[in-house]
Structure 1
C-alpha cells in the first residue's frame, strides 16, 4: 500500500518532460541557464586536485559554518552559534524534509499557506500528520483571520515561504506583527521559514525571521546556496535553528545524508570571500524588468513580482481553459513551458494564472517572449 496514495509525479517533472519532448523553451523549472561565476568554477577546478573528497563533519565543513555565521550577522545582525545552531544540508528540500520528520509527530497538524511549494506536504504525510492548507488572499497576502481559524490544539508547526514561490510576493512588517501576535497565543507551535530566495528581492527589501527576536527561539530558517549562487544542481543549503530544535533535526539528518558534498562546501566557503550576496538583487531585477518589457505587448497580464526569479501572469483574456490544459497547449502550440498555479493549491484553485522563470540568459528570454507575444 502506498504511503502517499494521492501524490503523483511533480508538475515540474511533467512540464519539463513535455518541454524536452516538444523542444520548447523551458521557463517552468526554477533553475538558471546562464554560466556560473568563473571565480567559483575556478575554485572547483583547483579543489578537484586537492585532498577534499572525504566526509566533512556531520554539521558541515567547519570553516563554511563560520562563514555562514558572518553572512547571517552581516545580513540580519543576528549572532548564530556555529556548533549548535547551524546545519549544512543537501539542498533546501532535504532541509525541509528533515526538519518536518524530526519535529512533527503522529496526528499533529501543520499549517501550510496555499499556493505552496510541493515539497511541504509529503513529509507531513509521512509523519502521519495532517497538512492544514489555508489559502492566501487572491493578491497573495496572508489572510490572518482564516489562518487563525485553522489553528487548533493539535497544531505543531506553521510553514511560511518568503519571498514566495510561486507568486514572488514579499511579506511586510504588518504581516510579521500579525504572525507574532498569533503565535503568542500558541507558544508551543514551531515556525518553519523557507527563505531560499532571501537575496533575490527588488524594490521592497526582504524581512527575515532572523531579524524577528520574538520568533528566533521557535523558528527553523531554511536558506539555499544553490539559489543564491546559480548552482541549483549542487544541492547545498543550510538551516539555522535554536539549539533545542537543531539537536532533534541533526538526529534525523545524520541518517538521511550524514554529511553534504565536501568539494562543494569548501568551494562555497572560499567563494564567500569573493562575492557579495547584495549583488543578486540588482542582477535579477534587471532580468525581471527586461522580461516584463519584452512581454508588455503580449496579451498576458503580468502580476507584481516583488522577489524570487518567477513572474506570474494571467491568461484570462486569452483563454477560458483550465491552467493545466493551457500550459500544455503553450508547450505544444507555442513552444514555451510554464507552470500552472492551480497545482500549488490543495483544492486546485484556478485563477487562470501561470508562472514563468526568468532566471535565463537574455537570448532565451527574448525568444520565449517572441513566442509568448504570438499567443
Structure 2
C-alpha cells in the first residue's frame, strides 16, 4: 500500500500552499504577455492573414538552407564556444567593419546570442543596477519595457514628435544623475523611423555628458528606403566604448526561427555581457551558427535586392491601407507601417480583434508600443509575399461595406 504523510515524500498537496505561492508578488506581475504573439495565436485561430508578427512567409536564401543541412550532417551538433563559434565571430567582425565602419576584436568584443532578444536582455542585466534609470523613446518595441523591469531598471519613456523625430528638450529633461542607459532602435519598430546623424549625435552628446551607456537595436539595418542610410551610434566620436550594438540574422536573412543574434561592445562591457549570456542560454545553436557564416558570405547584391523587395511590398501594403481608410505614412526603414485608426471609432484592441474576426487580417494594437496611450494606433507588417499582401488588401476593402471612417 502506498504510504502518505510526513516523512514519506508523498504528503498530499495542500491547495492553500499552492495558492500562496501563485499569489505572492513577482516581477512578472508588472507586465503582460507579448501582445504581438497573442495576435499571432488569434490569427491562427481565425485563419486570418497574419500582418501582426514580423516574420516572412517566404523562404530564406537557398545558400543558408544548404549550409544548415550540411552543418548538421557534418556533426556540428554539440556546444559551440559559449560566446560564439570562432568562424562566425571572425565573419561578423569583417562584415561589421565593412558595412558599419566599426572595428571589433572577435576574440574579446563580439558575443553571439540566442537572437537579438537575448542580446538585449543580457546587455541590460550586464550594465543595470536596480534603481538605475533607462531612457526609452516612445513608441518602442514591446520587449523593452519588460526588459527594463526584469533588469531592475526604472524606465523613463520619452515621447517622439508626431513625425517620430526627437524632441531635444524632452530628451534633456529625461536625463538625470540616475540615468544609466539609453535604448535606441534604428531603423525603428514600430514607426519605421531611421534616426539621422544629427539626432544620433545629439543622443551621443547626452550619453557622454551623463556618462550613460547606449544599447542600440539595429536589426533592420539593411532594410531602408528612399535614400535613407543606416548609421550606427557606436561609430560616432566618443561612443565606441560606451555603446552596445545589437544585431541579428533574423530579419536580414529571413530566418526569424533560428534565433541567432549578437552583441558588439568594448572588451569591458563584453566581459560582463558574456557572463550573463553564459548563464542565460549557454550558447546559440551550433549548426545554425555555421550556417550564419554562409549568410555573411552573400554578395552585396543580396542586400540591394533585399531593400528593393521590401520597398515593393511596402508600397503594396501602404496603398491598400490608404484605400481602406487608414491614415499612415510610408516608413523610412524596417518592415512595418504604423497607422492611425481614429476615424474608425474603436480602440486599438477592439479594432484589432474586429479585423481578425470579421475581416481576416491581423495587426498589433498600438498600445503595446506605449507605456501609456497608443489606443489610436495599429501596426501592420509587410514582411510577406506580394500575393499575401495583395489578398490582405482585398480583405481590408471590406471595411468600406462595414465601417465608414469619420
Q: TM-score range by the shorter chain?
A: over 0.9
Secondary structure of 1:160 counterpart: strand
Aligned equivalent of 1:354 = 378
Structure 2 counterpart SS, 1:288 = helix
Cross-structure match for 1:366: 390
Q: Distance in 2 between matches of 1:283 and 1:58?
A: 35
Q: CA deviation at 1:296?
A: 4.5
Query: What is the CA distance between 1:131 and its match in structure 2?
Result: 1.1
TM-score by length of structure 2 reads: 0.88
Contact kept, 8 Å, 1:76 with 1:210, in 2: the verdict is no
Partner of 2:5: none
CA distance in 2, matches of 1:233, 1:97: 18
CA contact (8 A) 1:118 1:344 kept: yes
- Kept in 2, the 8 Å contact 1:110–1:132? The answer is yes
Q: How much does 1:278 deviate?
A: 3.9
Residue 158 of structure 1 pairs with residue 182 of structure 2: yes
Q: Corresponding residue for 2:318?
A: 292
Task: Give the structure 2 partner of residue 88 of structure 1.
Answer: 112
C-alpha deviation, 1:214, in angstroms: 2.3
Q: Given the superposition, is the C-alpha separation of residues 356 and 364 from structure 1 closer, same or farther in structure 2, using an over 3 Å criterion? A: same
Residue in 2 that maps onto 1:122 = 146
d(CA) in 1 for partners of 2:307, 2:277:
31
* Aligned equivalent of 1:332: 357
2:103 aligned partner: 79
Q: Could you list the per-position Cα deviations for residues 319-350 of structure 1 after superposition, in whole angstroms to 9, with x for gaps in the alignment?
A: 12111111111111111000121221111233
Aligned to 2:266: 242
Question: Contact 1:303–1:314 at 8 Å: present in 2 too?
Answer: no
User: What is the count of residue pairs matched by the alignment?
Assistant: 372
2:30 corresponds to: 6
Listed one character per residue, the Cα deviations across residues 24-57 of structure 1 (whole Å, up to 9, x for unaligned) are: 1110001101112122112222222112111111
**3-state DSSP of counterpart to 1:5:** helix
Q: 2:340 — aligned with what?
A: 314
The corresponding residue for 2:233 is 209
Alpha-carbon separation, structure 1, partners of 2:366 and 2:316: 23
Give me the CA root mean square deviation.
Answer: 1.4
| Larger-gyration structure (1/2) | 2
Q: Distance in 2 between matches of 1:74 and 1:264?
A: 23
1:362 positional shift: 1.3
Q: Give me the whole-angstrom Cα distance separating, in 2, the residues matched to 1:168 and 1:107.
A: 31
Equivalent position of 2:213 in the other structure: 190
